[in-house]
Amino acid sequence: MNTTTSLQDDVKQLSQDPQLMLTAGRQALDSIMRILDGTHQPEAIGHDRLTRMAALIETSLPHRDALLVATINPDTTRDDLTTITEQPHDPAAVKLIFTSLTTCFEGRTPVNQERADRAYNLFDQLTAAVGPTPHLSASRAYLAWAARDPDQASSYMVQALTLDRTNNLAALIALALSKNINPTDD
């Protein structure tokens, strides 16, 4: 019997079972933190867990945002990510997201390339497990833009918008690239 799940199966299960969303989300956050800190490799995660993680990113913008914040802000804690994903409208979550994005955009804390490379590796593994998806592609576009790689940002932005022309993050990157808006180097 084949127990390997598909992205569509996981999306359906997560959308129908809040407890599963909570449990899977917490497992994914633990893995994300260990991967970004360099203590765990995404290749060590099984196909089913990668598929579940990709499904979380596709169905829950707070999970997508938590991954991006954890990548660009190395001071982010596991508790911070839990607040972002489980209480996304909590003032602490909103402040953390805003502060992380602003600090990155203003160039006060450039993206740590080693941490970004670990995130890219995770995205490679997620994409290998489920194929390209709108939010995985848009997230890669954002990280490439934040790391000042407009060619990669453009490539992933186009991929995200091809998969879903209504993807807001990809549209935001498209606007930034078209107006030559980039994180500052100051």
* Residue 114 burial class via C-beta count within 10 angstroms: exposed 0-12, middle 13-18, buried 19 and up: exposed
Evaluate if residue 122 carries a pLDDT over 80: yes
Average confidence (pLDDT) over 128-148: 93
Evaluate if residue 87 carries a pLDDT over 80: yes
Residue ranges of domains in the chain: 7-131, 133-178
Lookup: tokens for 51: 């598929």
Q: How many CB atoms lie within 10 A of CB 34?
A: 17
pLDDT reported for residue 80: 94
List CB contacts of 185: < 8 A, sequence separation 6 or more: 107, 148
pLDDT reported for residue 2: 37
Considering the entire predicted model, what is its pTM? 0.88
Evaluate if residue 99 carries a pLDDT over 60: yes
Evaluate if residue 3 carries a pLDDT over 50: no
In whole angstroms, what is the distance from residue 166 CA to residue 171 CA? 8
The packing angle between helices 47-59 and 113-130, to 10°, is 100
CA distance to 51, 150, 160, per residue, from 131 (Å): 10, 23, 12
Residue 4 pLDDT level (bands cut at 50, 70, 90): low
Residue 185 pLDDT level (bands cut at 50, 70, 90): low
Between residues 122 and 107, the one the model is more confident about: 122
CA distance to 147, 154, 181, per residue, from 105 (Å): 10, 17, 10
